[in-house]
Amino acid sequence: MEPKKNPKADISRNTGLYFAIGLFAVMALTYNVLEWKDYADDNEYDISQNIDDDLDEEVPMTEQIKTPPPPPPPAAPEIIEVVEDEEEVEETVIESTESNEEEEVMEVDDVEVMEVDEDLDVPFSVIEDVPIFPGCEKEKGKGANAMRACFNKMIQKHVVKNFRYPEIAQEMGVQGKVYVNFVIQKDGSIGSVRMRGPDKNLEKEAARIISKLPRMTPGKQRGRAVRVPFSLPVTFRLQ
């Protein structure tokens, strides 16, 4: 059966084309509406300033502030008594403290200068009389260098004799060098001990060794006992 409708009369053939044309027309119209500008007539705008030149209005004068007058001076006494100067007044004479050539200069006896006993710290390397470690008395007549060598030798022997490695430091595998600073006092005792090392247990052991040092003969500078600082490294090494 043949269709009665003519295929050329189908209105849905060019739907896409018509849609595109209509869309373009709507966008063009929208663009024109958005871009439309209306400018007012410049001749109708009055740029003149509206200045009121009427200055005939009376301006009230500022009232003058009046300053009160100063108070009057006190009145003078009516009766002035005149007292006669009958008493003699002693004049104070100020004598000059400057000396002149006529004055006799008194001789002053010799002034006794007292030495101040100060706590001097003289380094071990420069002191005149080195502190004497017990056992170094025989080196006393050989000079300062021999006394220093004997002192160092005896103190190293003391460290080796009293050395004890802390067990807790061995278990932890701690080792290193502890630097000990102490002062040989004026009475030959040991004081002002300070330590610096890699572990507190090692520092404690180094302090124990130093505490066992014997009393020494104090060092002297110019024949007077002085304090002598000394530094000693104590090495802790695991075998």
Residue 49 lies in a domain: no
Distance CA 124, CA 227 (A): 9
**Per-residue pLDDT, 239:** 78
Residue 105 lies in a domain: no
Check whether 3 has a pLDDT greater than 90.
Answer: no
Residue 19 lies in a domain: no
Residue 79 lies in a domain: no
- DSSP β-ladder status, 176-184 and 220-221: unpaired
8 A C-beta contact, residue 193 and residue 181: yes
pTM exceeding 0.85: no
Number of domains, the chain: 1
Residue 97 lies in a domain: no
**Per-residue pLDDT, 4:** 57
Check whether 159 has a pLDDT greater than 50.
Answer: yes
Q: What is the DSSP string of 89-118?
A: -PPPP-------TTSPPPP-PPPPPPPP--
150-172 average pLDDT score: 91
CATH number at residue 193: 3.30.2420
Residue 213 lies in a domain: yes
**What's the domain range around 229?**
137-236
Check whether 60 has a pLDDT greater than 90.
Answer: no
Q: Residue 201 belongs to what H/E stretch?
A: helix 200-211
DSSP state of 128: S
Please give the residue that has the higher pLDDT: either 36 or 129.
129
**Per-residue pLDDT, 45:** 47
* Residues with Cβ within 8 Å of residue 222, at least 6 apart in sequence: 128
3-state secondary structure of 19: helix
Distance CA 215, CA 189 (A): 5
* Residues with Cβ within 8 Å of residue 218, at least 6 apart in sequence: 131, 184, 185, 186, 187, 188, 225, 226, 228
Residue 232 lies in a domain: yes
3-state secondary structure of 68: coil
Tokens of 17: 């084309």
158-166 average pLDDT score: 91
